[in-house]
Amino acid sequence: MKKQISAALIAVFITFGAAANLQAEQNKPVELAAQTIEYNSATGLMTAQGGVRMIQDDAVLTGTSAEYNTKTREAYVTGGVKVVKGDATLTSAEVRSYDNNHMSATGGAVLVKGDNTLTGPKIDYYSDRQYAVVPGGARLTMPDGFMTADQIEAFIEQDKAVGNGNVHIVSDVRKLDAVSDNATYYGTKEGGQGKAVLTGNARAVQDGNILTGETLTIRMDDKAMDATGRTKLVVQPQ
């Protein structure tokens, strides 16, 4: 049976999960508001149009239109989608979620978490692992610089990011410009000093000095660099 409701606000007691949440809060009620809401009880498909707003616990999702299947737990939201939870905000043209865990944002996707910003054409986020990946054209902006790569994986709880393919790290604050095939960036969470480990055709320029090697370790706080494997250092005279 299909029902259409014209309403400013309707409370729907279903588990919407990751599409309305940057970290799935399962088995909690969802408050859904839209200009029109249509629900097919036979298929479990719910369609909302016009000023869609969903609230679950402390997470808020907004967009132009939304579909959610109560049986498959799959959701699709389009039109300037924005998801806010705590200090995390995700924006994109559209968002799909699967099984209350995997959320895929496409179309100018931007994930802001605290002081860090992850951007790309597409961001896949897995709430159970607090893990996000940008499969192409990725950029991670941090307080002291940025990293670009063909792909960037963000391990949020570990305060770690992994760049794969054509990695470029720039920090104007530390006068650093580095490139490599791959890189792992460790943040300063829980007393960490912050460092980047570059592997494969690694090259770093800092304060005019050039260091190359198969593996470079850059310690952000003290501007120290170590290199291994066919190392070469060019020091500019002061």
The last residue of one of the domains, among 111, 135, 159, is 135
Same domain for 34 and 127? yes
Same domain for 228 and 120? no
pLDDT of residue 110: 95
pLDDT of residue 190: 56
Same domain for 232 and 166? yes
Mean pLDDT on 197-219: 88
Same domain for 67 and 158? no
| 181 φ/ψ sector (left φ>0, alpha ψ -120 to 50, else beta) | alpha
- For the entire predicted model, the pTM comes to 0.80
For residues 21 and 217, what is the distance between their CA atoms, to the nearest angstrom? 36
User: Locate tokens 């990725």: which residue?
Assistant: 138
The last residue of one of the domains, among 118, 135, 152, is 135
For residues 155 and 153, what is the distance between their CA atoms, to the nearest angstrom? 7
Residue whose C-alpha is closest to residue 82's, from 15, 22, 17:
22
Q: Provide the domain count of the chain.
A: 2
**Residue 153 maps to which CATH number?**
2.60.450
Residue 140 confidence (pLDDT) above 90: yes
Same domain for 174 and 127? no
Q: How confident is the model at residue 223 (pLDDT cuts 50, 70, 90)?
A: low
Q: How confident is the model at residue 233 (pLDDT cuts 50, 70, 90)?
A: very low
Give backbone dihedrals phi and psi of 79, rounded to 5 degrees, phi first. Answer: 85, 80
Whether residue 130 contacts residue 156, with contact meaning beta carbons closer than 8 Å, is answered with yes
If you average pLDDT over every residue of the chain, what do you get? 80
Residue 9 confidence (pLDDT) above 90: no
Same domain for 105 and 170? no
- pLDDT tens string 181-190: 999 988 776 5
Same domain for 160 and 74? no
Structure tokens at 17: 């999960």
Start-to-end CA distance of the chain, whole Å, equals 80
The last residue of one of the domains, among 112, 135, 158, is 135
Residue 103 confidence (pLDDT) above 70: yes
- pLDDT tens string 46-91: 899 999 998 877 788 899 999 988 888 888 999 999 988 888 899 9
**Residue 13 maps to which CATH number?**
2.60.450.10
Residue span of the structural domain in which 167 resides: 139-238
Whether residue 151 contacts residue 135, with contact meaning beta carbons closer than 8 Å, is answered with yes
